[in-house]
Every structure is written in C-alpha cells, then in structure tokens.
C-alpha cells in the first residue's frame, strides 16, 4: 500500500470538487484528489462509445447565473457559444399549447426542477391556468431570495465537455494538485494524532489536515477513536443513449427537457453547430427510470425514443437510426443523517453539488472565502 501526505484531501472529482481543489492549491496548500473511477470529471467526463468516438455522456445546461460564463471563459479559457434559441422544453400537455417552448419562457424551465416538478404537476392536473402557475413559480423564487428576472441567455462549451475536463486537468497541473484515479476512499479515520485524517482506499493511505467531500463522493465508513460508523446513502442509476441518426432536414437543437415523457428525461444534439457528417447527427438522451421499468423487456426502446423526438419536431420524420450505445452510471447520494454525522468533525467540509454546475460555481465563492483549518476540537465546520 502506497502512503501519501497532503494538506487537503478532496474526495471525488466532479467539477465543483476540482474547482475547490484548485482554489485550495492557489492558497499554497498541497492538495490531493482521490477519484474512484479511471477518469476525472464525474458526469461531465466524456463517454467513449462502442464506435470509439468520444461524446458527452449526458445533456447539460449551464444557467446564466452572475459571473458563471465569465469564470468559464476568463479563468479556464473556454470557448463558449450562445445556444439560447435552440434550447426547449417539450410539453405534451394541452394546457401549454404547442409542444416545444423556448428557453426564454424561463418559468417553464423552473417547473422542471426536481424540487418544483410535483407541485406544478398537481397545479396542472387541478386545472390551474398557466398564468397562475407562473405566479406560483415567481413566488417560490422570491421566497428563496432569487432575482425576479434573469437574462434569458445560455452558453455552452463549443467543443463539449471533453474540452471542459481538459481545461480542468490543465489547471490541476498548473497548481500542482496531485490526482489519484482508481482510488475510492472507503474508510476515513478522523481525529488521528499528528495528522487529523487518514483516508484509506484499496491501494493507498492518505494523511491530511482537512477533507473535502460532497453528497455524491464520500467514504463508506468514518472511524473515530474506538467507534466506526457506516454512512448511509441511496443509489440511483442514470442511463443515457448515445444515438447516431441520419437526418439532414430538421433544424438543429441544443437541449430539450421532457417533463411528461415516460422515456425521455433530457435530450441534446452533440453535433450542434458542427455536424459529424453532412447527413449525420449524434444525439444523447437520458432516460426516465419509470419508462425503463415499463419497457424493460424490449430492444425497441431506441426506436420509441426516436419516434418521440420526431413527434416533438427535434428530429426529422424520416430520420434513420444508424447506431446506439448505452451508457449507464450508478450514483450514490448521502442521506441527510449521515451528512450531519460527517460534518460534525472539525476539518471536514461539504460542497453543495445540487442544482447544476452554475449553482455550484456560485456557492464555490463562499468556499473560497473560508480558510481551511487543521483539525482542532470544538471548531465549527464550514458547509456550502
């Protein structure tokens, strides 16, 4: 077993974890990132298909929160393109009229957020008018302290998530952040004399003064003095279909959310603005688990998904399916009780990883303002 020593151990390599690692390294600290997979980036890491082509493994949307695009372009040197006019919400509900609604109807996107979806479904089923539903959304935003208007412009990486992850790797090297892949931290010892923490994986032991984790990247067990506690979590599977279709007549689209579909959750055109061939497009669709359970026995799911994309007008009626690759990822989410148990230890900091990359970047500014502290009794834990 190899021994490593650092000031800060960052568990997991989602973008927000890597941003935190870079921020700590800029303070002159020795930072080590431990990632259980062979690639860094979490769900933002590109997927390799059976045809050996690299593609985004899921649709992503980076919302227009203050300073987010400036950070991505100025700090990371990423080339962003405006995709506002080609992002949609697809509703098959007659209450909202036409099936495709543009991103500029921002309140409809607000309805699709996990914390809002059930509320608005009940309002819709109860016969509430679109005006009343929009009013409810605005009141919920006001109660959360969010601004009433937001510039309805969204931008995305011109070269996809592969470019994004490469820029993060360059920043990690620039600031001498050590990265260990294939090393999932299974046990975290806390209160270790002289070091503070020791993280254990199958092939390494890592001593650190502080530990950064998030709700999807955390140890299985926390060992403290004579007692060990197994953390609890829920697990879910995310399934994406990367589909190549022959289609040269439908207008390009960037992103679409399907709140009422039994199969499709999100869809994106990976060849947006840059087709891989004159007649060919690459699409990625994340699938709703309810639909997978309902259609679990059939290999006809790709055909059903293509048919639904055609019905909503995102793919031409005569489009032909050329190839399909299934990409599945299992994801753990720590329970609130285990999160509270972990965060009680001085020197453990949790990153907020819900709400998308844009939300995480806004919260990161709070993390940067907090100076990392070595393990000391009775000291408050910083939580984002």
* pLDDT at residue 381 in the model: 29
Mean of pLDDT over the chain = 81
Residue 95 has pLDDT above 80, yes or no: no
Higher pLDDT, 288 or 121: 121
* Separation between Cα atoms, residue 33 and residue 10, nearest integer Å: 5
Q: Which residues contact 154 (CB under 8 A, 6 or more apart)?
A: 61, 62, 63, 64, 82, 83, 84, 87, 103
Whether 378 shows a pLDDT value over 50: the answer reads: no
Q: What angle do CA 297, 298, 304 make, to 5 degrees?
A: 135
CA-CA distance, 7 to 25, in Å (whole number)? Answer: 10
Average pLDDT of 333-352? 90
Angstrom distance (rounded) from CA 242 to CA 253: 15
Domains of the chain plus CATH, in order, are 2-45+177-229+335-369 (3.50.50.60), 64-153 (no CATH), 235-332 (3.90.660.10)
Do residues 201 and 186 touch, judged by C-beta distance below 8 A? yes
> Span 48-62, mean pLDDT?
74
Q: What is the mean pLDDT of residues 111-122?
A: 72
Q: What's the rounded Cα separation, in Å, for the pair 96 and 68?
A: 31
**Residue 244: strand, helix, or coil:** strand
């Amino acid at each position: 077993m190899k021994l490593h020593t650092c000031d800060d151990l960052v568990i997991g390599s989602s973008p927000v974890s890597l941003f935190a690692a870079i921020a700590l390294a800029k303070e002159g600290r020795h930072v080590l990132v431990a990632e259980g997979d062979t690639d860094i980036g979490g769900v933002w890491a590109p997927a390799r298909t059976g045809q050996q082509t690299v593609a985004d493994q899921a649709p992503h949307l980076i919302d227009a929160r203050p300073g987010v695009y400036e950070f991505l372009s100025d700090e990371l040197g990423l080339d962003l393109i405006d995709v506002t006019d080609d992002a949609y919400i697809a509703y098959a509900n007659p209450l909202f009229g036409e099936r495709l609604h543009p991103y500029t109807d921002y309140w409809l996107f607000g309805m699709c957020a996990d914390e809002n979806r059930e509320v608005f479904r009940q309002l819709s089923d109860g016969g509430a008018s679109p005006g009343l539903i929009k009013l409810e959304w605005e009141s919920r935003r006001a109660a959360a302290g969010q601004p009433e208007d937001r510039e309805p412009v969204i931008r995305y990486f011109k070269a996809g998530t592969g470019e994004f992850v490469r820029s993060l790797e360059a920043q990690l090297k620039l600031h001498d952040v050590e990265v260990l892949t294939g090393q999932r931290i299974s046990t975290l010892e806390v209160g270790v004399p002289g070091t503070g923490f020791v993280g254990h994986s199958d092939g390494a032991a890592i001593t650190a003064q502080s530990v950064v984790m998030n709700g999807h990247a955390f140890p299985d067990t926390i060992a403290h003095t004579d007692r060990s506690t197994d953390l609890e979590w829920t697990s879910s599977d995310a399934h994406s279909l990367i589909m190549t279709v022959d289609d040269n007549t439908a207008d390009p689209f960037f992103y679409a959310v399907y709140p009422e579909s039994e199969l499709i959750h999100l869809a994106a055109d990976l060849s947006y603005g840059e087709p891989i061939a004159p007649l060919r497009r690459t699409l990625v669709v994340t699938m709703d688990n309810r639909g997978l359970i309902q259609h679990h026995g059939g290999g006809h799911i790709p055909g059903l998904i293509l048919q639904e994309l055609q019905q909503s007008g995102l793919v031409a009626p005569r489009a032909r399916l050329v190839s399909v690759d299934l990409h599945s990822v299992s994801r753990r989410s720590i329970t609130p009780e285990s999160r509270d148990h972990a965060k009680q230890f001085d020197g453990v900091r949790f990153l907020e990883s819900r709400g998308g990359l844009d939300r995480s970047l806004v919260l990161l500014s709070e993390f940067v303002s907090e100076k990392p502290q070595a393990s000391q009794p009775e000291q408050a834990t910083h939580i984002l």
